[in-house]
Amino acid sequence: MKRRILLQSFAALIMLPLIPACRSQVVGETSSPITRINKPLEEWRELVSSRAYQILFEEATERPESSNLVYEDREGTFVCAACFLPLFESAHKYESWTGWPSFTQPIAGHIATKIDFKMIWPRTEYHCARCGGHQGHVFKDGPPPRGERWCNNGIALKFVPIAEQLPALRG
Ligand SMILES: [Zn+2]
């Protein structure tokens, strides 16, 4: 019995560092919380380009300067390229000189984060709170007051100018 408890505690200890990696946490609060959808990956593959699929559902990263959205400076909304949930407002976009579209904050309640260990050091990955599509990573070297840099893959977003209607959510 003692031996079993010991083994269980040991198992719990080695599992510990993995726990934050699995936990997804929504950023900010909204009066109408987003319901997570679980559309099969094969269906998303039909709806988005193969490159967008690699980024959104396999967590690839686009080359810097490869997206037109880096220089997009019109007023409008940036929606998830998979399910069309609005994720960022143009008012929070800024030039970070990294070659990726960058924002100071997401739309409250529409983004969720998790810790990823793909590099040696842990990074905070973030994704669409509705479809789970990977968007980018958030760093703590952004401008005041929040000091956040939401570094996004342009291909994982779609820009909707203010004069156009937001697309209906899909999925
Ligand atoms: Zn989405």
Q: How far is the CA of 9 from the centre of ligand 1 (A)?
A: 38
Protein residues within 5 Å, CB atom, of ion ligand 1: 80, 82-83, 85, 128, 130-131, 133
Q: Tell me the pLDDT tens digit for each residue of 42-59.
A: 999 999 999 999 999 999
Burial of 88 (0-12, 13-18, 19+ CB in 10 A): buried
Return the pLDDT at 120.
81
Q: How far is the CA of 73 from the centre of ligand 1 (A)?
A: 22
Return the pLDDT at 112.
98
Nearest to 159 by CA among 75, 94, 66: 75
Q: How far is the CA of 96 from the centre of ligand 1 (A)?
A: 24
Return the pLDDT at 92.
98
Return the pLDDT at 118.
82
Q: How far is the CA of 3 from the centre of ligand 1 (A)?
A: 47
* Gap between the Cα atoms of 102 and 138, Å rounded: 9
State yes or no: pLDDT of 17 exceeds 80.
Answer: no
151 tagged catalytic: yes
Is beta strand 134-139 parallel, antiparallel or unpaired with respect to 157-161? unpaired
Q: How far is the CA of 80 from the centre of ligand 1 (A)?
A: 5
Return the pLDDT at 23.
82
Return the pLDDT at 8.
59
Return the pLDDT at 119.
81
**Sign of the C-alpha dihedral computed for residues 151, 93, 68 and 111 taken in this order:** positive
Active-site option among 80, 128, 131, 151: 151
